[in-house]
Structure 1
Amino acid sequence: MRYPGRSGIRAATAVLGIATALAAVLPQATAQRDVAHIDPAALSRGADPDVPHLVRDTIRDGDLRIKATTRGRHHALWVVAGGYLVRDYNVGPERRTVLTFVDPDGNRRRVARSRGWIEAQVSPGGRRLAVQTWRRPLEQRSVITVTRPRSGRVVARTELRLATLAAVTHSRVLLGRRAHWHDPATQWWNYERGTLRRIHGQAALGADTRQDTVVFSAPARGEFCNRVAVLSHPRRTLWRSCRVAPHRWSADGEHVLTTRAYFDAAGTDRWWVADGRTAKRQARVAGRLDWHAVWEDDAHFLTLAQSDAGRAAILRCDLAGACERASRIWRVPLPSEPSLYYAPPPVVLVDR
């Protein structure tokens, strides 16, 4: 839900039922222009982001500057116990996805490499890392490995068919099974005991275990429909939608960032701030925006944006939708293919 080769990767994730598969096929012509596109260059300059982020090949975390990987293109950044995790995609002759652990001194350890795609989930507190790999794109079987990020020690490993890695905790992994196929289900894999337990008859796409919230695929109502429910009571529905999809809840659970459930482009054209329990929309930011956004604190979120003139930056927006610039401006050419819609600055925001 933002990287080179995005169309092919999205096709793979749709088949595999990965949690990010909510960003999929809709012609760009449907992008609405009822609200003016935000122009980062026209905004006042605020403080730098108060969350870890990558600028080109350097991790910035407060005053820390840590050299990250330099091969491939960065797609995601996580904070884990003892350091950071960077996901890169190499678009050269040896196409592959690589997951690398980087400690605060800049030492690196490769966690996973695949000619297919790699998904990762980090537990609250960052002491467990679940990694899902495929040997080849569009493959139905995947391997899920749980490790201790600081040491790299493998805690558990399993191979599954048609599985979506939705979340990980200190002792369990939440899995969506057979999304968009017959007999969907959500299971807890207790990797300490080696057991699988079915908890619901819909496939989970993602979850926020701290907020006790889960997002289920609900294809019976439409290909890209979703149902948001209470994780501990999965039959209890918070809301349903075929138009918008939740992306991130704030730490206090009061608000959630939502965007379109499907939009065929490298970026999206809307971020909404909504009530965390009802999804009632409270604010909107429109423009050439990144598929990823992250809460900086309970009252502000960060995303990347590009103007219609190709000027790109990090944005900081509040609960009312008022924004300021949180970085310098980069001149990034607009995509030559209009349907791609958006090209990011050389920045990756933390995934949390």
Structure 2
Amino acid sequence: MLGPPDPEAKPDPDEHNLALQKLAFEVCVRINAVTPITPVSLVTLALLGTGGVAQTVPGVMLRLSNLLHDVARRDLPNTGLAELETAEGVARVLDALAANEVVDRFAEGSEAVYRIGPERELAAAYYRNSVIHFFVDPAIAELALIEAAEAGEHEDRVASFWRAAMQLRDLLKFEFFFPDRDAFRGELRRELAERDPNWEEKLARSADGAHELVKRSRPFSAHRVLRPFLEAYRVVADRLAQTPPDTVIDERGFLDACLGLGRQYQLQHRIHSAESVSKVLFETALKIADNRGLVHSTEPEIAQWRRVFADQVRATLRRIDAVEALAASRRAGLIE
């Protein structure tokens, strides 16, 4: 029989810790929501999506145009972005980044060009990561729409979209502070309603409808926002799949092996981003795998589970490749 609480009872430490964790998480979500986007953070975000290819000032402005449009459309917090509306302002930001050895500048040809080389990607990522959270939800929407388009003829594409979106949220939960599930779904609904108020009907109708919704992304985000993380996850997932099921995994030795495999993949161009060959990202990927019972489990199905995990990561990277191809098509004028 329930009665009044015992005034002498001590508080449950587990409940107290959980409450503190929830409070800290909510604080982080709110801090993210008001962190202003700066010219430096937006320029590094744009340049890190070029694959290390040098850009002129007009080329950087082209890559910034849709980012600036998105910031204005969603009324995201920002400061000083008016500087990026002129060639002179963009050049000042690029030259400042070059002076601080974040960007490489080459001016011995007909005009100055700028790039973020492999050895500078981690430094540039520091600035990009301060605002990357604003673009994660649109990136997830792109990938989930592509996965929904791959659904079978008689499958429910809307259900496939939501399943894919929630799986990506779970995959990336140690990288980003996501709101609760209902709030996350609400944010994705608002994002897609901006593209088409009847997006669910369009998605349910055909795979072409899903592709059309993806093409309305402005800017395309998945390749420059999520690729570094997913490529690091691929290294860890592949290494786990290569590890015999009865092997006791030593974290330090495993991460060293991932660094070697990551460098191999980079040399083979199986991963695009030097930033992905990072022990910090590998540690997070291993944490995700451990959270799924893929590291220390002795279950007989562990080898199969690890292969499934690796397949999931590779399939996500394939969809990121598709988004990058769409971004290239837009720059070439093949799509709007």
TM category, shorter: under 0.3
Please give the TM-score of this superposition, normalised by the length of structure 2.
Answer: 0.22
More strand by share: 1
More helix by share: 2
Please give the TM-score of this superposition, normalised by the length of structure 1.
Answer: 0.22
Structure exhibiting the larger radius of gyration computed from Cα positions: 2
